[in-house]
Amino acid sequence: MSRALVLGWFALVGFVLFGLTAACSADPGYNEDELILATTTSLNDSGLLDQLVPIFEAEEAITVKIIAVGTGAALRMGVEGNADVLLTHAPAAELELLQAGDVISRTLVAYNDFVVVGPAEDPAGVSGLTDVSAALRTIAESGATFASRGDDSGTHKKELVLWSDAGLSPSSESHDWYLDVGQGMSATLTVANQRGAYALTDRGTFLALSEDLAGLRPLVEGDPRLLNFYSVMEVDGDKGRINVVAAQAFSAFLTRDDIQAMIGDYLRERYGQPLFIPAAGETEEGISARGGAAN
């Protein structure tokens, strides 16, 4: 092979490699104009994101793709690198992701509380109880129907912890009064309303949907164990295909003073109480220590 031919081959290989490198540099592996947000059905059902996301999209010239699923599924999307940013409400599970390096940050955004809702007739007689363990035991002993989300969501995870605290572990297989709905918060509340059942729900979703839930009332509330914390988490960029810049921008957006004020004011006038209490810069421990009262 002549020297000229060898040099020609080297030049060709170099040109191809340069082209591949340039192509890889030009293509980050994700859509730079899109942010994938995995969040909970309860937060999505509240309507809060419908108020906030358009502001972010306009400011950043980016489209936010909201995927509303149970918290367990949302967290798995983060682990698998199928979302850029997560907005969920399962602190223990979230900390596991942070410790494992699946997310690079976890920032408290807002909180509200869970309430046990049920029919106005209150067949189990739990209205006014502030000890959620006593209330759940009373419901179980009465045999009144309890509708569970049963979907590995943050609310479902919380419900299982509360049953465990009460010394019980009901299931639809072993307890005919325990109804495993297997759907999101809106659907579960609809079933509870239709069946005259009790259910655990976050206050924000219940208030936002209350006009369609005429048969249900908040019956058990005020136990510090019912506090419900929402955090935003940026997925680790090393997973590939992650829009790190947009995820950072969205996290910063949610904790901005003006956006925090919007979160606190959302539907407050309509219902006479906040659906969400802003919590940027606070800790769960500090909020719990003051019993969930706004700072």
Spell out the residues 6+ positions from residue 159 whose beta carbon is closer than 8 angstroms to its own.
Answer: 148, 149, 200
Question: Per residue in 244-283, pLDDT tens?
Answer: 999 999 999 999 999 999 999 999 999 999 999 999 999 9
Q: Are 116 and 199 in contact (CB under 8 A)?
A: yes
For 217, the 3-state DSSP assignment is: strand
Higher pLDDT, 208 or 135: 135
Dihedral angle, C-alpha 139, 143, 148, 152, nearest 10 °: 90
Residue-wise pLDDT tens digits, 163-212: 999 999 999 999 999 999 999 999 999 999 999 999 999 999 999 999 99
Q: Is the pLDDT of residue 24 over 80?
A: no
The predicted pLDDT at position 176 comes to 96
pTM of the model: 0.85
Three-state DSSP at 29 gives: coil
Instruction: List C-alpha distances in Å: 21 to 14, 66, 242, 259.
Output: 10, 33, 20, 41
Ordered domains of the chain (ranges, CATH): 34-111+227-289 (3.40.190.10), 114-226 (3.40.190.10)
CB contact at 8 A, 118 and 124? yes
